Amino acid sequence: MSQTTRLFIAAPLPEELKKYFSEQAGRYKHEAIRQVPIDNLHLTLYFIGNVPASQLDTIQDVTAHMAQQFAPFTLQLEAIEPGPKPRSPRLIWARFKSHDVFAQLSRSLTQALSAEPPLSREPKPHVTLARFRKDRPVPHNLEPFHPHYPVTLEVNEIAVWHSELGSPHPRYSILQRYPLTG
């Protein structure tokens, strides 16, 4: 049996933004809310999943090629709130305003790396800050937070990440970074 590896493509975050998100997530105090460790925070572009380890080179080549097609872009934070569905949330996320370049980059990676047809729905730029435990009552009445000052994320690189499932948290590591140079 060939060895498999669990991968995803995401943009790393600057240290200050990770600190900011971690502090904001820490305001949500509830027994069901489990904060994502600060070093795991990232902006997902495409989740690849388990693939034969032999595909890693091709995935890295595709990601490098894509990074050369796109110029850096800036996302603006819209809210920190329960998501992804307001009526049945499973997590707390930092949701950015939708952005054409993010959507195009995410779609292009999906198309290049997946046999599946691309999603018809708009991929939402977000950072997951906390997840709800399934073995605890679902928290209610969590207040969204809309900063009245600008919070931005400059996406100037993307990376191939390795994910190792574990409890209570998966362990993520960056395998290779690619600056956006398009």
Q: Is 162 a catalytic residue?
A: no
Within 34-73, which residues bind ligand 3AM (CB under 6 A)?
44, 47, 49
34 or 181: CB nearest ligand 3AM? 34
Beta bridge partners of 163: 172
Q: Is 99 a catalytic residue?
A: no
**x-marked contacts with ligand 3AM along 3-32 as a string, rule CB under 6 A:** -----x------------------------
Sign of CA dihedral 24, 93, 103, 171: positive
What is the token pair recorded at 154?
Answer: 């400059």
Angle formed at CA 176 by CA 35 and CA 17, multiple of 5 degrees: 35
Task: Please tell me the distance from the alpha carbon of residue 75 to that of residue 97, in angstroms, as a whole number.
Answer: 7
The yes or no reply on residue 110 touching ligand 3AM (CB under 6 A) is no
Of 82, 60, 61, 170, the residue nearest 129 (C-alpha): 82
7 or 67: CB nearest ligand 3AM? 7
**x-marked contacts with ligand 3AM along 133-152 as a string, rule CB under 6 A:** --------------------
5 or 128: CB nearest ligand 3AM? 128
List of residues contacting ligand 3AM (CB under 6 A): 8, 44, 47, 49, 128, 163
